[in-house]
Structure 1
Amino acid sequence: MNKLLLTNLFLILCGGWAQAQPHEATHHLDSAGRLYWNKKLPVYLWVSSTPDSAQQRLTRAAKPQYADPLYLDTEGLNYIRTRYAVDKETQNTVTPHQEVMLEIYADGMAPSIKNTFQDAQIHQAAGKTYYGSSLSIQLQSEDKMSGVKQIYYAVNSERFIAYTEPVQMDQQGEFEVKFYAVDFVGNASPVEQKQFIVDLEAPVSNLNVNGITKENVISLSSKIYLLKNDKLSGVKATYYKFDEGTYKVYNGKGIDFAFLEEGHHRITYYSEDEVGNKEQEKTFEFYLDKSAPLMAADILGDRYLANNQIYFSGRTKLKLTAIDNKVGVKEIKYSIDNGEFLEYQNPFYLPNVTGEHYIRYYSVDNLNNQTQSGNATGYEEFKHNVSKVYVDLTGPTLSHSINGKHLYRKDTLLIGPNNTIQLAAVDGESGLQKITYSFDGELSETEYTQPLTQAKEGLHQLEFFGYDNVNNRNVERLFFFTDHSAPKIFINFSVGAIDTKGNLDIYPAHVGIFLSATDTYAGLENIYYSLNDQAERLYSGQISRLKPNKKYRLKIRAVDYLGNSSTKEISFRTSRQQGSAKQ
């Protein structure tokens, strides 16, 4: 039974926390003698012949249901009046006639209240409002009738208390402030509330160095990062500077320090949150050694840099090396494409899938200095290094073209002395490195620099190879026949020689000359001839109409379809007369 009573009492008390106090409706007489009456209250009229007591209550009225009691109908000034005023001395009606009007003010409206949050920075995010240090809450109220009697406020679950001066929010945390005002006749405004968070705690920044020795020695391959955290309003900005330089805003990436000279340096840094809480400056001293890296990744095999992209072949291995001149390296671990971290033992092959890959690796020294190592500096001594690699597994695309006129006999390509073979290759990944070639099964390859020719007549096989910049190779083959044989020329006279003089055959003047030629491979295209060094003419039929008793020199040129040509020249004479052999 006693437990039940205690429980009920506790609930009753708790239920009163942060609840507006009850305020009784009443009346108020101000310093000017104005009477304010809560409009909700009834009015009972009493009359008396003496000023110090009420002798008789007035109850008789034309409409008693509205008169005993009566209620004031108008907000503000109301009057209780007589018909005419009577002079106190003469007891006669005052002339001119005038009413006696007794004032009473009806007040049925609660005060208005407003709040001002001042003297602190504000930040709003994710539906929450944050304030910084020195937050002061000022409450103001106004009442048009009886006036503001009191403002009350409560913080979180505390009881409402009277407001007397601005509320200083000097504690950190989440708050709910409630407030209302009461006038002199008991009208209370609705309870208003504000929810907000006071953030008095500065952010925390930590220096994170990847690649550093116990003696705080770093190299150009090291990385410096700043980690920052704020539990409430969030980090607005982080600043850093080297030595006596000017502060810069940290952009979240590795900090550039390559411009520093080799030697001792100091980095100073701090963070500021969204409501102006500023962290105390922190410093870290280190020695920059530009002569040797602490963690290195070496490529064993093919690689090439093009358009800011490093390409590797499927034959490439990655070698990881860590050097610690002070305490030595305990272990190296690596991960491929966000996979599980594996312990590094020996150089390993890069992925055999074309495309971009990410190799992450890190090392731990023999003191196990890692993230949140707990040492005096409080920074992360080793951080994952990330290398982006692009594995190129395909060689260039090869093509060829024949310069000059060429032929196909069935499925065999025929080329001649005027033809050249042009080779081409493209590679859309690491790019073309070179083209090489070999003829007829030669084991050695010759680098291609200009269009190719083949002087040896006969059937040939051309193998040409395209190498990309990571030494992926493709090969194409071309079979062709080289024709360097010129046509064979034949000359026939329509009649035989009738005489000989000085090693020259003599033919009748009416003789006709017939030309022909044969070609073994490409075939004869044209025959040309010239008499006595005249302009060369295309042979189209019998050469005739020679002049009598004249020496002739006949030059013949035969050309096949590949441009192979042969020439032949003869000299002879014609007789003085038709058919005469005497000269």
Structure 2
Amino acid sequence: MRFLVGKTIWALALVVLGAGLAFGQGQAEPLPTKAQAEAVPQAPAPAAAAQEPAPPLVHPKKFYTAPTGVLYVNLAAPIYLKLTSDSTGKGEEVVLLNSTALTQGDQKPVPLFFENDGNHTLVHPNEAEWEKSRARVGSHLSSVAEPNSFFQIRADGQPPETKLKTEVKEKLVVGDLTIFGKPVLITLEPTDGLSGVESVFTSLEGQPFVVNQAPLEFGGQAPLVQLRYYALDRVGNPEPVKEFHFALDLTSPQTTLETVGPAVGLVLSPFTEFQLATTDNQAGVASIFAQIDEDPLGNKYLKPIKLDKLAEGLHQLRYASLDGVMNQEKVQTLDFFLDRSGPEPAYEIVGDQSFEGKTLFFSARTKIALTATDNKAGVKEIRYGFDKEPISLYQSPVSPLERPLGLQFLRIQAEDKVTNQAKEVRLDFVYDPIAPEPSHKFLGPQVTWRGRLYLCSRSQLVLSAKDQGAGVAEISYRFSGLQAQDPKAVFAEPVNIPGQGLVSLEYESKDKVNNLAATQKAEFFVDNVPPELFLHFSNGELGKENGLPIYPKGTLVFFAATDLDVGMDKILAQVDGTGNKVVASAMTLDKLGNHKVVVEATDRLGNVTVQTAEFVVQ
């Protein structure tokens, strides 16, 4: 009896067994590998260290009888042939030895290995036909055996192939990492071309492999998941382990806003800009969108947002980010005020000042206090400069430059806290540091005698002053003499000279910016005492008539006067009220009757003494 397996020939009887499996049984048993055929069984390998992923399971090589009766044999499994006459497996069994074992005499079984995948046939050929057709055995088996002499075996050395499927569109593939933006259901679909798929095994995060029985569902945030999987066919061919690295990013990006440039709270400058930065846990940032006011949010942020084109007033910035798996951040807003207006500088003049027409006068004592107001951001600083002098930072009231009398100007600048500049304010003025020059004169009677000025009550004092700048404001004066000092008075019109005797005059003037001249002094003598007048008759009285003295005809009347201060000016006489007063020092009484003589003695200041004499000439 002969059997053919492919191109190999064995002499057999009845039953072919492999690794303890009776030919024709409908269940699979583990088959040793070729390398394990003569080895002693080993204990399972210890579990891998925690940091190392678990290895795939160890799957023995085995046989599988399909429901159709087809026998599948693992291509790598060693095949031993047993011969028995009892189909129940209870009878005697003999392992067949091939010719090599018989020749060597050790009678140790040597396994048979199939050469390739696919169908193989064991044939019990007809003896007569076998000898005739030996040359045609490989291709014409049907010609050397009866149909009942054919036994079909299929060798399977190909592992299954598993495809991983997901239905989430929101995903991003970066290298060997897939990031999902939605909960994901992973389905493993294995296929096998021969014996068919027995099981699929999966391992998460390096854990030991387990049989996969349903799609894998992942619904929460996961920074990184390592899924390892493989399929096993029914004869123990495992698929090489495949890995799928993925992450679930279910959170939106987070955008931070930085305001770069001048800002006071939410009051911003045209020179301010917005810078946006976004972070994302997994998928990374795909785009940043930003808008101001009514612009569409579809504007992509590519560079800092400048505010120099915006009008002054309230505005709103809206911004959000989108990550690589379409997670969109909630739109954030920032309401702000764009301040384009500079401060408004102002000044306050403290101290001496005077407007003459359109010209403003200051003195050396004048102070200029500077202020500024701003509608939003507030004033940062005030600066100033006189004429073409360098600009300085204002800290306290300033004084004009100490220069000669003349025109100056003050430049005032201001800046608010978001760098808006004020329009420069200019203050023009005349700097007047010079006091007026006062002087005096007298009107009316006055005599200078022996180096002294003599005045009387009819004399008048006139004060005046000259000023080159703001003009004279007032002249004040006072007299002091033998009596108590008079209070100071303001000169307004000619003043009659008071008192009697030696008098001192003090006067001073100031201009309209309070430049005060040095006190001026003058001394003079006030003489309001008239001369002392004397009448002398050359003859004595002859008697009385009606109470009047009687003088003889031809009597001479002499006139004389003395003045203690300024001396005499003249003596005038008038007889009986008729005719002009004549200057006389004596007169002759040559007319008989009653007479009246009026005599006036005047000193050099015009002080007059009048004396009347009535008498009778006989």
Same fold by TM (over 0.5)? no
Normalization by structure 2: what TM-score?
0.42
Normalization by structure 1: what TM-score?
0.45
Q: Looking at CA atoms only, which structure, 1 or 2, has the larger radius of gyration?
A: 2
